[in-house]
Amino acid sequence: MLLPALFFYLFSFICIASALMVIAARNPVHSVLFLILAFVNAAGLFLLLGAEFLAMILIVVYVGAVAVLFLFVVMMLDVDFAELREGFLQYLPVGGLVGIIFLAEILLVVGTWTIGAQVPRVVAAPIPGDITNTEALGLVLYTRYLYFFQAAGVVLLVAMIGAIVLTLRHKPGVKRQSIADQVARTPATAVEVRKVKSGQGI
């Protein structure tokens, strides 16, 4: 019992410290690296809870895709972060007011939160004991919540297409590949035959 508690406090401390450093670090690249560290320690907490599927998803999806994408964007875009911070004090009162409102809402939710009488019985045996956590999650996801799962995929697809459409800019003077023009080419338009006299070049 001592070893799981030790790992719990270790993962929790590193996760909280990394989360604080995400917003406290001056370098955006360091912020993304601290975010990856927070994800890894959160995955360790999920492993201690027995949710190995969520831990794997957190590593594969968030660390392997989302956080790496953040790091790629931060390192590739030439963003002047000093210029972005110039108007920080101007919006500080509004941001502080919004933060106080959110804090009050969280305190109200935590203060009035109660556990229903039927919840302990449901939590006691959430899944059958003869299958793993990952298998149980797959059975529920692809049977009871199949349509919601497919709808979430459609929403993500539409969001991806919308992001591409909104950010795509055609700059003048830049050569681009046109598949339709390439397919519609004929020998008459693709090949130019010139008759060169003997002894003369083109």
DSSP state of 174: -
| Domain-located, residue 108 | no
pLDDT at residue 41 in the model: 92
| Domain-located, residue 150 | yes
* 69, two tokens: 């994408």
Residue 44, classed as helix, strand or coil, is helix
Q: Which of 39, 58, 79 is the last residue of a domain?
A: 79
pLDDT at residue 184 in the model: 84
| Domain-located, residue 105 | no
Instruction: Indicate whether 2 and 71 sit together in one domain.
Output: yes
Gap between the Cα atoms of 29 and 36, Å rounded: 11
| Domain-located, residue 8 | yes
Q: Which of 35, 56, 79 is the last residue of a domain?
A: 79
Gap between the Cα atoms of 68 and 104, Å rounded: 34
pLDDT at residue 185 in the model: 84
Terminal CA-to-CA distance of the chain, rounded, Å? 87
Mean per-residue pLDDT pooled into runs of 10, the chain (202 residues): 85 92 83 88 88 85 80 69 67 87 88 65 58 79 87 92 78 76 82 78 62
| Domain-located, residue 138 | yes
In order of 101, 136, 184, the CA distances from 60 in angstroms are: 35, 20, 43
pLDDT at residue 120 in the model: 58
| Domain-located, residue 184 | no
pLDDT at residue 125 in the model: 52
Instruction: Indicate whether 73 and 137 sit together in one domain.
Output: no
* 20, two tokens: 């604080």
Residue 48 sits in a domain whose CATH number is 1.20.120.1200
In order of 133, 138, 166, the CA distances from 175 in angstroms are: 52, 47, 20
- The closest of 140, 137, 162, 181 to 46, measured between CA atoms, is 137
| Domain-located, residue 119 | no
Q: Which of 57, 79, 101 is the last residue of a domain?
A: 79
| Domain-located, residue 7 | yes
How many distinct structural domains can be found in the chain?
2
Gap between the Cα atoms of 133 and 131, Å rounded: 7
Structural domain including 156 reads: 131-166
